[in-house]
Amino acid sequence: MPENKLQAIKYADGQLQLLDQRLLPYETVYLDVPDPKAAWQQIKDMVVRGAPAIGVTGALALAVHLISGGRGKQYASVQACLDDVASTMDCLVTSRPTAVNLADSAVKLKAVAAEAAAQQGATAETVTAAVVAAAEATLEQDIAANKAIGAAGAAALLSAVAARGKANARPGGKVTVLTHCNTGSLATAGYGTALGVVRALHEQGRLERCYACETRPYNQGARLTAFELVHDGLPATLLVDSAAAALMAQGKVDAVVVGADRVVANGDTANKIGTFSHAVAAAAHGIPFFVAAPTTTLDAGLATGEEIEIEQRPAEEITHFKGQRVVVEGIDVWNPCFDVTPGRLVEGIITEEGLVPRDSGSGSHKVAAFMAARQQAQAANGTAVPRPTSSVSALDAAGVVAFLAGRPQLAKHVGPAGSEGSWDVKEVGDGNINFVYIVTGPSGGVCVKQALPYVRCVGEGWPLSCDRARIEAEALALEHKLCPQHTPQVYLYEPASSVIVMQLLGPPNVILRHAIVQGGTCPHVGRHTGEFMAATLFSTSLLAMDSRSFRQMQVRFTNPDLCALTEQVIFADPYAQAAINRWTAPQLDEAAAGLRADTEAKAAISVLKRKFCCSADALIHGDLHTGSIMVTADSSVMIDPEFAFVGPIAFDPAKIIAELLIPYFAADGHEAAQGAGSRAGQRVWLLQCIIDVWETFSSRFLELWSAKVAADGGAAAGDLSPGALLGAAADNGPAALASCQQAFVAGLWADVLGFAGAFIIRRLVGIAHTADMDSIADADVRAACELRALRFGRHLLVQGAATYKGVRELTAAAAAARQVDGLPADTAAEAPAAAALGVQ
């Protein structure tokens, strides 16, 4: 790259160094970045900061990884290379969630990899070379963009000052500019964005003075911007953040220009905390306020600033100075890294391609239209690149047909070319998160699933990363490899549209929950579900894997958005005053209020949340309920693993057991309408199904474990069960293995009981209910069923682990719990005394 006065990033052929900006202005130290893990940590720790610089760093960290690994020779296949590029960038994106540039780099580099892989004769080496070239190009591209921003910004700023009659208010037509945080060479690959505008004004002889705000609490303005201004000889003055309004009141500021970490569709802008205050002050004094940002920072996929995730920084940034506490103990701290300035306060958004158009009526900025026009222009000259997946547009029926028809490898499953007019498209998604389409035609059909950047049942007010589609596609592919008889085949995953196309499970397949609500039974589904869980959970655990491969899998399946959603709706909301909670009111008002005041339940759910967040046992399905299983008379297929991540093994069996207990308690409500005893047979089957699930899963899991330890004299065993300790040749190896297995299953079962109780509770007083209960028309009858289930769920949550040592004790207790209200037993074997089993 050309010589720069200041360089935050140094790179040459696989060698990356970052200027440690935490030490400025006292020391100039460059830190080596030998791999993506180091890059992730240095981004997180703010060694490098500024959205453009973070995006470039992520791209170059991938280049370092690919070059040091062998320039493609380290991969056994093109697909292995693609998988590594995707997982590496996906992990890096998690380091700083607010800045969009890093996500933009990830999307572009994955697209480059996919395009290179599609070329005839592609190899892992050619794909790697293409990705490295694209990553290395980000340095020069960012510098060029910043200089264009500087030129456009200087013109826009001078024009705005002139429009206010101040063109010649200062000698030589010069202007004074106030800026915030650091947006110069230290925040970018070079030159800067907002500080690039200041530099351009200085180069034109039009800058009288730059006022730099200190930017508390991390002092990027005082430590970094002041350093740059003095280093480059620009006339500058430093002031505390809270003095900016007073400076404006004295007429010493002609314009304000700041950078951005994310600009959304209406022009709302996330930038360093304190920016909003400057915008309000500027508006009060009639001073033009500009945002300078590259197009990589524009995110038209978010409608307003309310949807931007705001990073919280450590309290110590405020409470400590040079390691010494300077604030009284006991005070709470609120330390957001960013705030959001409403677009209406922004006079102009300056990009390398000019200013974003503004609506003269509302004052909002037309970011979406600007980006769409840019994409069209790029498409016309063949330079179009994908945007981050938050800009995904929803497919409708016609869009689904066009999507499939344009891909012959998919269309062949539906019908021959020219038959598209006869294709039938039905939107069948009854879940809470995604859209699902069934497409059928002369040749058969496919299932099309699309993930949009929000929760379906809530809308755009609850944003979600579209990366969940990638996670689901990759989880399905792995599960199909491990258990093909119980997993559908994936035909395609396309990141640009967040679409998965997979094998159609057409009639006579039905969703298990639908069959249960209709009164049906499926004798095989418990065994099949147990087999699926044993095969997938064992094979992705450290009992079967080496620790290096296991940790790589953890990175690949990092799923922060859906894990956070789970943590909220299962482990928090049902026990608090959450606006999204719902229950049958007023019948369950007292029970819901009691749960919110239940000390034992809150303590128990907190323990389970810790296990959910901290127990990395295996790649779990994450959402294995009766709505995620397709069944026929003799088959069962598990679908929808979008919540997959490396978590607690107990989570999956607990969820399906809970989702079988709920219809067990709901059956009495359906009997009230259909006739006494009409659901007795189904209740008996549901309890037997629970037994089949656990006994099949636990026995098959142990069989796989023993076989793995025995294979190749123990050499094939996972790192958590080494043959040297537990194999047949080890001293007391078989006895030690048996002891380990016994303890493992006992601990697992205890966690299953607690999680199952939590799942039952969330389905009754949380946001997402099921048709098992909701389809009971009579509210009083429904509430009676729900109350019995809620009592049992709370009992499992608080007392289950200490009460039931086996699954048959659990099912006997469920049967007894029905009888608390005098309901008749379904079989003579059912224990009539609920109290004796501790169910209150």
Active site positions, annotated? 261
Q: How many CA atoms lie within 13 A of 410 on its CB side?
A: 25
Give residue 365's Cα distance to chain centre: 28
Beta strand extents in 567-644 (DSSP E only): 618-620, 629-631, 636-638
**Measured CA angle at 546 (ends 540, 552), to 5 deg:** 70
Secondary-structure percent of the chain, ordered helix, strand, coil, rounded to 5: 50, 15, 35
User: Do the beta carbons of residue 814 and residue 807 sit within 8 Å?
Assistant: no
At residue 207, what are phi and psi to the nearest 5 degrees? -100, 115
Cα–Cα distance between 487 and 484 in angstroms, integer?
A: 5
Q: Beta strand pairing status for 255-258 and 289-292?
A: parallel
User: Do the beta carbons of residue 179 and residue 313 sit within 8 Å?
Assistant: no
Chain position carrying tokens 């970018």? 188
406 three-state secondary structure: coil
Counting beta carbons within 10 angstroms of the beta carbon of residue 129, is it exposed (0 to 12), middle (13 to 18) or buried (19 or more)? Answer: middle
Q: What is the largest CA-CA distance in the chain?
A: 100
Amino acid at 37: K
Helices (H) and strands (E) in the chain, counts: 29, 28
Closest CA to 212 of 348, 187, 356: 187
In sequence order, the 6+-apart residues with CB closer than 8 A to the CB of 330 are none
Beta strand extents in 639-698 (DSSP E only): 645-647
In sequence order, the 6+-apart residues with CB closer than 8 A to the CB of 737 are 705, 706, 709, 721, 726, 727
User: Do the beta carbons of residue 34 and residue 43 sit within 8 Å?
Assistant: no
Query: Which pair of structure tokens corresponds to residue 105?
Result: 């780099």
In sequence order, the 6+-apart residues with CB closer than 8 A to the CB of 743 are none
414 three-state secondary structure: coil
Chain position carrying tokens 């905390």? 273
- Return the H-helix or E-strand segment holding 503: strand 499-503
User: Do the beta carbons of residue 719 and residue 542 sit within 8 Å?
Assistant: yes
Amino acid at 608: L
User: Do the beta carbons of residue 363 and residue 341 sit within 8 Å?
Assistant: no
Chain position carrying tokens 């990899």? 113
Chain position carrying tokens 């699933």? 449
User: Do the beta carbons of residue 469 and residue 490 sit within 8 Å?
Assistant: no
Nearest-10 crossing angle of helices 124-163, 78-93 = 30
Give the CA distances from residue 301 to residues 358, 431, 451, 560, 617, in Å, rounded to whole numbers and listed in that order: 18, 22, 13, 19, 35
In sequence order, the 6+-apart residues with CB closer than 8 A to the CB of 364 are 266, 267, 343, 344, 358
33 three-state secondary structure: coil
Cα–Cα distance between 101 and 51 in angstroms, integer?
A: 6
- Return the H-helix or E-strand segment holding 549: helix 547-556
Chain position carrying tokens 């470039």? 56
At residue 763, what are phi and psi to the nearest 5 degrees? -75, -10
Cα–Cα distance between 697 and 638 in angstroms, integer?
A: 15
Q: What is the dihedral of CA 477, 479, 483, 489, to 10 degrees?
A: -30
